[in-house]
Chain A
Amino acid sequence: MGTQRWKTSLVFSLFVLGALVMVLPYYWMLISSIKPPAELHTYPPRFFVQHPTLKAYIELFTLLPMARSLLNSAFVASTVTLSNVLFCSLAGYAFGKLRFPFRDAMFFVFIFSLMIPWQVNLIPGFLIVKSFGWLDSFFALIIPKLALPFGIFLCRQYIMSIPDAFIEAARLDGCGEFRIYRRVILPLITPALATVAIFTFLAQWNDFVWPLVVIQSSSMRTVPLIIQVLNGQFGSNFGMIMAGALVVTLPMIVIFLLFQRQFIRGVFLASVQE
């Protein structure tokens, strides 16, 4: 038994070491963002700050429209999330439980589209948004994402597992389909809705390529775009770049720590797609 305990402690120490490797870049980001420039480029690098300063954050919010970017990101991510929860669950109910011609054929097309790489849609997507006159606007960031196939798929899978008897009972009581959706289906699929909401918000908050392509003016930038600008124009001001990275990272880490079980279950739910 002695060797067993010794082995367990060894594995545990390896995990602690691994966890340090995972956390170190975040620690380095934090302390680099509050170091005065003189402490940033020292040899050997210092793991503690002697004279912490918020100068990088002040520069970030005054030299660049950072506050506006945070609002942009929050607005885009929440709008897209709400609409996905609504439209994906509605479509998921129809595809899962209602009967109408071409239902399965249409659903198959949705599934098939999940296999098409995103860069195939990038250029025509840009051209379509441009032809609508939506470039450099919230329309471009939000409307194409209002109902993503992934959420529809996830909701349908979950709704299929609800026994038909529940729905029939409601029909016998004279409920219309929309009422059934609202009163019977929605309360039963909250775990699926939570997964859709979490992953949609996360994906939109962190999305980079699409905003990079459709946004030009500085007031329309989302937070990842601001960091890209920092990276290009303030390339040597690592304090300010780290402050920017922290601003985009922190909200997601807080949300993740609050909903960690939903996140981790969501990874599993999201993967069951064969």
Chain B
Amino acid sequence: MAFEAARKLSRARGAALGLTWQPIGYLFIAPAVILFVVFVVAPIFASLFLSFTRYDVLHPPTWVGLDNFRILLFEDPRFWKAFRNTALYVVGVVPTGISIALLLAAALEELPVGKQTFKVLFFIPSVTSVVAIAVVWKWLFAGEKFGLINYGLILLGLQPIDWLLSPRWILPAIMIMSVWAGLGYNMVLFSAGIATIPRTLYEAAKVDGADWWARFVHVTIPMLRPTLTFVIVMSVITSFQVFDQVYIMTGGTAEGVGGVLDSALTLVSYLYEQGFQKFRMGYSSAIAYTMFGCLIGLTLINVRMLRSQQ
């Protein structure tokens, strides 16, 4: 018995000091690792390979070298249209959405009651299927005077807009919807960040005569830097990959995934169309990798800029 106990003790101590391995760990991670290799690692290399081929699913892929990328970057106006639309979408949605969410989170602190209720109400779109949100907004944006938003415009003395069928307004309509949908999530994140800022900083600023805006600019924003960096980086990444709402808002017409005259064609919509409607899977993979490159670049730029401001 004493021997048994001593052996257990030395084994436990050995483990603590890192002297023994616990190979059962491999068993614990096995399901995750197998799935990961098959459905994440293999696809990453497979799509890199496919991006150098022509592949229509029916025939085996043929190697075309850098052709897909050359055509994409130099001979495909639709790719650049999609790129431009996506860039406009990111620039339109990210700064607006983040500024409003940040202001709301800071203003929320001033409320004596109802904080939790407002957080809950603003958060509801974050638990709603984007597809459902998009069909509801499609109805709100309905043309002529039957859509609720156009009714609002008429009440304000403005002309109704044919939001979803006009090349000029479809992208702004999708942007408005996306800002609305993303507001609550970011507000809750910022609010959690603000809760960790020491109250004494605000008290000190008040003593120095700083008004609400000064406290917001000189205390809240600098103290929130890590959260802010995270939210900006994540928002740019997710907005750059926008698809669900675009697919729905442009859907139900004969115009295809891009809406009228491709006016709402985004990069992922284009990738989807090329891969799964035209079965040009090699070309589609080249779009995916080009986007991957852009995202790495964007993230590095974001992180650099946000660091250097510190």
Q: How large is the interface on A (under 10, 10 to 19, 20 to 34, 35 or more residues)?
A: 35 or more
B281 CB contacts on chain A under 8 angstroms: 123, 127
Whether B129 contacts A90 by the Cβ 8 Å rule is no
- The CA-CA distance from A105 to B55 in the complex, in Å, is 34
Contact of A94 with B25 at beta-carbon distance under 8 Å, contacts A28-B140, A120-B47, A147-B31 already known: yes
A28 CB contacts on chain B under 8 angstroms: 136, 139-140, 148
Whether B288 contacts A119 by the Cβ 8 Å rule is yes
Whether A128 contacts B136 by the Cβ 8 Å rule is no
Please tell me if B121 contacts chain A, counting CB pairs below 8 Å: yes
Whether A235 contacts B38 by the Cβ 8 Å rule is no
Residue of B57, B114, B142, B288 near A120 (CB, 8 A) is B288
Contact of A18 with B180 at beta-carbon distance under 8 Å, contacts A23-B121, A99-B25 already known: no
Shortest distance from the beta carbon of A244 to any chain B beta carbon, whole Å:
8
Interface residues of A in 216-274 (CB under 8 A from B): 223-224, 227-228, 230-233, 235, 238, 241-242, 244-246, 248-249, 252-253, 255-257, 260, 263-264, 267-268, 271, 274
Residue of B25, B111, B230, B244 near A209 (CB, 8 A) is B244
B35 CB contacts on chain A under 8 angstroms: 143-144, 146-147
- The CA-CA distance from A85 to B1 in the complex, in Å, is 39
Whether B192 contacts A268 by the Cβ 8 Å rule is yes
Whether A123 contacts B28 by the Cβ 8 Å rule is no
- The CA-CA distance from A91 to B25 in the complex, in Å, is 8
Whether B25 contacts A117 by the Cβ 8 Å rule is no
Please tell me if A187 contacts chain B, counting CB pairs below 8 Å: no
A43 CB contacts on chain B under 8 angstroms: 145-146, 151
Shortest distance from the beta carbon of A133 to any chain B beta carbon, whole Å:
15
Whether A206 contacts B129 by the Cβ 8 Å rule is yes
Contact of A249 with B128 at beta-carbon distance under 8 Å, contacts A242-B135, A264-B119 already known: yes
Whether A171 contacts B15 by the Cβ 8 Å rule is yes
- The CA-CA distance from A255 to B189 in the complex, in Å, is 20
Contact of A206 with B36 at beta-carbon distance under 8 Å, contacts A124-B43, A124-B46 already known: no
Whether B139 contacts A32 by the Cβ 8 Å rule is yes
Interface residues of A in 122-172 (CB under 8 A from B): 122-128, 143-144, 146-147, 149, 152, 164, 168, 171-172
Whether A117 contacts B237 by the Cβ 8 Å rule is yes
Shortest Cβ distance from B131 into A: residue: A224
Whether A90 contacts B29 by the Cβ 8 Å rule is yes
Please tell me if A2 contacts chain B, counting CB pairs below 8 Å: no
Whether A231 contacts B22 by the Cβ 8 Å rule is no
Interface residues of A in 6-31 (CB under 8 A from B): 7-8, 11-12, 14-15, 18-19, 21-26, 28-29
Extra contacts, 20 of them, besides A128-B42, A242-B135 (Cβ < 8 A), are: A8-B110, A18-B122, A28-B148, A29-B136, A90-B29, A91-B33, A94-B29, A99-B22, A119-B271, A120-B43, A120-B291, A125-B39, A206-B128, A206-B129, A213-B276, A224-B129, A260-B123, A263-B127, A267-B185, A268-B188
A residues at B contact (CB < 8 Å): 7-8, 11-12, 14-15, 18-19, 21-26, 28-29, 32, 41-45, 87-88, 90-91, 93-95, 98-101, 103, 106, 109-110, 113, 115-128, 143-144, 146-147, 149, 152, 164, 168, 171-172, 174, 176-178, 181, 202, 205-206, 208-209, 212-213, 223-224, 227-228, 230-233, 235, 238, 241-242, 244-246, 248-249, 252-253, 255-257, 260, 263-264, 267-268, 271, 274
